[in-house]
Every structure is written in structure tokens, then in C-alpha cells.
Amino acid sequence: MFSFLKRDPARKLKKRHSMLLEQAMHAQRNGDIKMYSKLTAEAEELFEQIKKLATSNG
């Protein structure tokens, strides 16, 4: 009945994922390849978590 009031658990992860990708882009533009690799790896881990949540929720 009040499903619209429930919080989406993936919403926070998606926001963090987007922020990490943006930070990675800036690191790449500044020539910091190590930081770019680290941030991209973190973003990929978050994306896997988001996919798991999406498949478990239907």
C-alpha cells in the first residue's frame, strides 16, 4: 500500500557509483593513472552490488 515510501537500497549505491566515475574521469584528465585505476575498480565493485540488488528485487 505504501510502497512509494520505502527507500530504494540501490539509490545510495548508484549515487556513489556516479561520483566515483566522475572522480576517475578527473583523475584521468589530470594524468593520475593510478588514482584513475583505483577509482574505476571501486566503481566496478559498486556496480556489481547494484546488479545483485536489482536481480534480488525483481
Domain layout of the chain by residue ranges: 8-57
Which residue in 16, 6, 7, 22 sits closest to 49, CA to CA?
16
pLDDT tens per residue, range 17-49: 999 999 999 999 999 999 999 999 999 999 999
* Confidence category of residue 3, pLDDT binned at 50, 70, 90: low
Predicted local confidence at residue 7, as pLDDT: 78
* Confidence category of residue 9, pLDDT binned at 50, 70, 90: confident
- Answer with the residue of higher pLDDT: 28 or 5: 28
- Contact at 8 Å (CB) between 40 and 22? no
Predicted local confidence at residue 1, as pLDDT: 56
